[in-house]
Chains A and B, each alone.
Chain A
Amino acid sequence: MSIRDVLSPFTGWKYLFSDPVTIRDPLNDRPGAPRYRGFHQNDAEKCIGCGTCETICQNGAIDMVPVEGIETKQGDSGLRPRIDYGRCCWCALCVDVCMTKSLTMSNAYTWVETDPDAFRFIPGVDKKDWDNAELGYRRPDAHRITPAVRAHMGEMEPEERITSFAEIIDGYSVEQAILEADRCVSCGLCVATCPTHMAIPEYIAAVRDGDYARGVELLYDSNPFSGICGRVCTHKCETTCAARHEGDPIAIRWLKRHIMDQVTQEQCIEVVGGVRPATGKKVAIVGAGPAGLTAAFDLAKEGHAVTVYEALDKPGGMTRWGIPEYRLPYDVIDRDVDVIRSVGVDIRCNVRIGQDIMLDELHSANDAVLLGLGLQLGRATRIPGSDHADVRKAVDLLRLATAGEDFGTPRAAVVIGGGNVAMDIARTLARLQKAAYGEVQVTLTALEDRAHFLADPDEIKEADEEGIRILDARGPQQVVTENGKVTGLKTWRVKAIFDEQGRFAPSYDEGDEQFHPGSMVVEAIGQMTDASLLGEALTEELSWNRGRLQIDAGGRTSAAWLWATGDMVRGPDVVTAVADGHRVAASIHATLTSKEITK
């Protein structure tokens, strides 16, 4: 102890006349820091209501609630997060996980209110002072707690794949599949989009857990064509995937395929559970395509005796006869169909209804008849010269290619059309040309410009890579012939496809004419149903709607015993056909088990 210890404490007096260090009006004079985690903001337009913020909130402070003026639509649940500030701990995990980056936090941190309920509000919907605050916490770009990049899918190089019809896509390994499945946030927006409402988040979780038995069970719950859909589904689910907003969408289709690749056919058969006790009711189904077979599968599982009649020599419909093998190997179709057979579905091939057996006979021998004819006739352009024998329909050529029949591969071909069928035939021809002549000479002309092509972007990219010349916005005008042989196609540039009323009425720039040489012209501009099996009397009796059979919500036609399903009534892809098959099967089953309905 010294004299210093007595005097030194008094040095504290030196601040006696200093200005105070406190902020006089902190509510106004002190804004929060630029990355301050203050009250939430939400761009209600950008938000898709995926609810991932609600999932991650460890306080249960977020509820997804419906909001007036925001409609539920594909890829948007219509719900928006409501935040309870009695629970919120300002950790901003909701901001970090937000799939669209719509949810942010402002730097506002003072809010005085006498009504305690006011502190539970919907950011971006309930207007607040800080809605337009420019400062506050936003997820830094590099900061991700959900991976953004899709697991790489191996595929054959263009030079290699053009030489054969071998499948292009490798499929995921278990490691890749787990990585990809891990990215899913299980929001379920995809389920609403999927026509057959597959349990997507659940089967992705099964992949994550390596529980393929559960995975395949979930697949068969809603889709007996999972092997096929796992390869060629139009995967609308991926277009509404929450992950696509700030990264790649989850490869839902490939994960479905992965499950099917990991299980044996025996496991699938075990899952679907074999033949059921008979109800004594009989159903005849015309057409062994996805819709017909799905309905057959459902009805057989209910115990009804189902017989499917197929005009061609193998079941599968357009999945077999329309889709080239490099996209969908035939053994995959066989496998899916065999599982369907295992529940007792009797598939009779090479039986053409209306020819080998009449529809009337089916009617009298069965309790219900279902038509799943598909769209097997190609539409014609009806341009001059298109009646030539070397102007072919894409569906016909694809069918012949599947059957392995030689239709005279042209050295150079011109395809008319910009949809997936056009791509399929162009790429099939390219392979055949490569095998026969060692080079590819296929020109594809589409009415649409590239930005509006109907084909999948992947198809266009791969066709490009395979050396197919894709010309957009070209309208076919004339098939040019010389000495009775097709020499090519004349096209004009398309100015507009639709008129002002939005009707299909292409207009052309006649000055921009091109000639595309080729000894064969293939029309791939759409398909229609061959409904001649109905016969004149029944055609007359049934109600029609713009060339399509008129059906009710359950797929029943105006005749009480007759249902129709699939592409012939509701297009245009496999998974829609599957969904339709389920719907019509439910309707038939309800009818068969209802006491009021008699034959």
Chain B
Amino acid sequence: MSYTPDRSQYPSMKADGTLDIDLTSGKYLKLWQGPNHPGITGNMSVELTVCGDEVVEGKTHVGYLHRGFEKLMERRTFIQCFPIVCRICVPEPDFNEYCYAAAVEELAGVKSPVRSDWIRTLILEMGRINSYMMYMGGQAGALGLGIVGQWATYARDLMLDRFEELTGARIYHMFILPGGVRDGLPEGFDQRMEETLRVFETTLKDIYDVMFCNAVFKTRTVGVGVIDPAWLEQYGVTGPNARAAGVAKDVRKDAPYLVYPELDFEPVIGQDSDIYTRADVRRRDAWVCIDLIRQTLAKMPRTGPLMCEMPNMLHWKIPRGETYIRGECSRGEYGYYLVTDGSGYPRRVNVRGPSYTHAMSLLERMIVNLNISDVASLMVSLHTYPPEIER
């Protein structure tokens, strides 16, 4: 994709289009940020070329977490893929479980029971708010505001407790499987969830006070790292990153799935498209999550099947077909492209993680002309989880 960065002060371009950077001149410096660096999200790295404290070029390096999930799945039966997919995104694994299950269900021609759809929605919203909490800590932490991370982690931990009692695990829940979900809500879950949501409300208010009404935070984020709305389509920007640019992109509304049509909510949008606005969109979206969790619990049917009638999953063969299933995760559009060939194994699985576009091509573009100290903040503000880049 062609673009013309502002080269008024920084290296001129050579005739072949490459930058005229002479490292021996002493004017430029190569600086690696990552792969092990507190200012980087997960294990990836950015190879920066700086002039003074300004970045003239940034090149992303990924692959440090590559475990070949997509290929692994081609050698596993459909049910055996179920424990693998969650690992593609650690902080918000449930979208993998949901998208994979939904894709398999569609191609196999089975329909998950209504009650399981409600529980799936609940889980996805629980995962979303947890992901936002993790982001808040990261965004504040990237600018030296450590307390937000501590508060957010505590609230997040309480939600992990709810995950644990509902799904049997804290991080990799492995609960949404093709055909439905494993079990219903445990007794007293609503009450404990309500208590947890109250802690979230308090925490979000506190975060607003110390992070969003904060002169330092504002100085460092307002007007910094702006995504031009014109780039959204070009770069495939989705989720809060797009909504902060004023575009109400939300798969939950644009292509409703599960029980979202029965829930009352509006996509949160911002205007300024800078780091501050993106953070604010996520903060407000976290409030929507709280509301959606309450709505889900209030409207959810409490009886009925949780799994549809399934064939023997040990040798489950799925007819030839292909599908793309998408959902709105905390970072944007999460998608599973699944191809089946009539055998007991997926022919091809391709995972569309929003981090792929946000953290690579978009980041490389946005990083130019940025102050080194803002690189971490910018990267966190795009909300990337590297495992979904390198499936």
Q: Mark A1-32, 1 if CB is under 8 A from B, else 0.
A: 10011101101100000000100000000001
For A498, the chain B residues whose CB sits under 8 A away are none
Asked if residues A93 and B215 are in contact (CB atoms below 8 Å), the reply is no
Asked if residues B154 and A58 are in contact (CB atoms below 8 Å), the reply is no
A457 at the binding interface (Cβ < 8 Å):
no
Asked if residues A34 and B186 are in contact (CB atoms below 8 Å), the reply is yes
On whether A143 and B174 interact (CB within 8 A), knowing A21-B154, A33-B168, the answer reads no
A369 at the binding interface (Cβ < 8 Å):
no
Tell me the chain B residues, 7-65 only, with Cβ under 8 Å from chain A. none
For B311, the chain A residues whose CB sits under 8 A away are 147, 182
B339 to chain A, nearest CB (A): 20
Asked if residues B79 and A56 are in contact (CB atoms below 8 Å), the reply is yes
Interface hub of B179, B216, B313 (most chain A Cβ within 10 A): B313
Asked if residues B183 and A185 are in contact (CB atoms below 8 Å), the reply is no
Asked if residues A143 and B183 are in contact (CB atoms below 8 Å), the reply is yes
On whether A147 and B165 interact (CB within 8 A), knowing A1-B215, A1-B218, the answer reads no
Among A34, A52, A93, A146, contact of B82 (Cβ-Cβ < 8 Å): A93
Q: How far is the CA of A52 from the CA of B314 in the complex (A)?
A: 9
For B307, the chain A residues whose CB sits under 8 A away are 142-144
For B312, the chain A residues whose CB sits under 8 A away are 145-147, 182-185
For A91, the chain B residues whose CB sits under 8 A away are 82-83, 172, 174
On whether A36 and B314 interact (CB within 8 A), knowing A12-B210, A140-B183, the answer reads no
For A52, the chain B residues whose CB sits under 8 A away are 314
B183 to chain A, nearest CB (A): 5
Asked if residues A8 and B210 are in contact (CB atoms below 8 Å), the reply is yes
Q: Mark A150-189, 1 if CB is under 8 A from B, else 0.
A: 0000000000000000000000000000000011111000
Q: Mark B286-311, 1 if CB is under 8 A from A, else 0.
A: 00000000000000000001110111
Among B84, B182, B210, B314, contact of A140 (Cβ-Cβ < 8 Å): B182
Among B83, B154, B206, B309, contact of A11 (Cβ-Cβ < 8 Å): B206
Asked if residues A208 and B79 are in contact (CB atoms below 8 Å), the reply is no
Among A12, A140, A145, contact of B147 (Cβ-Cβ < 8 Å): A12
Among B165, B179, B206, B218, contact of A12 (Cβ-Cβ < 8 Å): B206
On whether A186 and B314 interact (CB within 8 A), knowing A5-B218, A93-B82, the answer reads yes
Asked if residues A137 and B168 are in contact (CB atoms below 8 Å), the reply is yes
A interface size (C-beta, 8 A): 43
For B215, the chain A residues whose CB sits under 8 A away are 1, 5-6, 9
Among B174, B186, B314, contact of A146 (Cβ-Cβ < 8 Å): B314
A-B contact count (CB 8 A): 117
For B161, the chain A residues whose CB sits under 8 A away are 33
B341 at the binding interface (Cβ < 8 Å):
no
For A1, the chain B residues whose CB sits under 8 A away are 215, 218-219
B164 at the binding interface (Cβ < 8 Å):
yes
B230 at the binding interface (Cβ < 8 Å):
no
Q: Mark A176-204, 1 if CB is under 8 A from B, else 0.
A: 00000011111000000000000000000
Asked if residues A144 and B305 are in contact (CB atoms below 8 Å), the reply is no
Among A36, A58, A184, contact of B169 (Cβ-Cβ < 8 Å): A36
- B73 to chain A: closest residue by CB: A58
For A35, the chain B residues whose CB sits under 8 A away are 165, 167-168, 183, 186
Q: How far is the CA of A32 from the CA of B160 in the complex (A)?
A: 12
A590 at the binding interface (Cβ < 8 Å):
no
Q: How far is the CA of A279 from the CA of B243 in the complex (A)?
A: 86
B80 at the binding interface (Cβ < 8 Å):
yes
For B306, the chain A residues whose CB sits under 8 A away are 140, 142-143
- B147 to chain A: closest residue by CB: A12
- B211 to chain A: closest residue by CB: A9
- A20 to chain B: closest residue by CB: B154
A426 at the binding interface (Cβ < 8 Å):
no
B71 at the binding interface (Cβ < 8 Å):
no
Asked if residues A37 and B183 are in contact (CB atoms below 8 Å), the reply is no
A342 at the binding interface (Cβ < 8 Å):
no
A272 to chain B, nearest CB (A): 29
Among B174, B305, B310, contact of A92 (Cβ-Cβ < 8 Å): B174
- B305 to chain A: closest residue by CB: A142
Q: How far is the CA of A167 from the CA of B80 in the complex (A)?
A: 43
For B169, the chain A residues whose CB sits under 8 A away are 36-37, 90
Tell me the chain B residues, 160-213 only, with Cβ under 8 Å from chain A. 161, 164-165, 167-169, 172, 174, 179, 182-183, 186, 206, 209-211, 213
Q: How far is the CA of A2 from the CA of B183 in the complex (A)?
A: 51
Q: How far is the CA of A320 from the CA of B312 in the complex (A)?
A: 38
Asked if residues B168 and A208 are in contact (CB atoms below 8 Å), the reply is no
Asked if residues B164 and A32 are in contact (CB atoms below 8 Å), the reply is yes
A55 at the binding interface (Cβ < 8 Å):
yes
B315 at the binding interface (Cβ < 8 Å):
yes
B234 at the binding interface (Cβ < 8 Å):
no
Interface hub of B77, B167, B169, B216 (most chain A Cβ within 10 A): B169
For A145, the chain B residues whose CB sits under 8 A away are 79, 179, 310, 312-314
Q: How far is the CA of A5 from the CA of B211 in the complex (A)?
A: 9
For A4, the chain B residues whose CB sits under 8 A away are 213
B276 to chain A, nearest CB (A): 12
Interface hub of A1, A21, A97 (most chain B Cβ within 10 A): A21
For A208, the chain B residues whose CB sits under 8 A away are 315
For B167, the chain A residues whose CB sits under 8 A away are 35
Among B80, B182, B310, contact of A56 (Cβ-Cβ < 8 Å): B80
Asked if residues B314 and A55 are in contact (CB atoms below 8 Å), the reply is yes
16 more contacts with CB within 8 A, not counting A89-B172, A137-B168, A205-B315, are A1-B215, A8-B210, A33-B168, A36-B168, A52-B314, A58-B77, A92-B174, A93-B80, A93-B82, A97-B313, A143-B183, A145-B179, A145-B310, A146-B314, A182-B312, A185-B312
| Interface, chain A (partner B; CB < 8 A) | 1, 4-6, 8-9, 11-12, 21, 32-37, 52, 55-56, 58-59, 89-93, 96-97, 105, 137, 140, 142-147, 182-186, 205, 208
CB-defined A-B contacts under 8 Å, sample of 20? A8-B213, A9-B145, A9-B215, A12-B209, A32-B164, A36-B164, A36-B168, A55-B314, A56-B79, A58-B84, A89-B83, A93-B82, A142-B307, A143-B183, A145-B179, A145-B310, A145-B312, A145-B314, A182-B312, A182-B315
| Interface, chain B (partner A; CB < 8 A) | 76-77, 79-84, 145, 147, 154, 161, 164-165, 167-169, 172, 174, 179, 182-183, 186, 206, 209-211, 213-216, 218-219, 305-307, 309-315
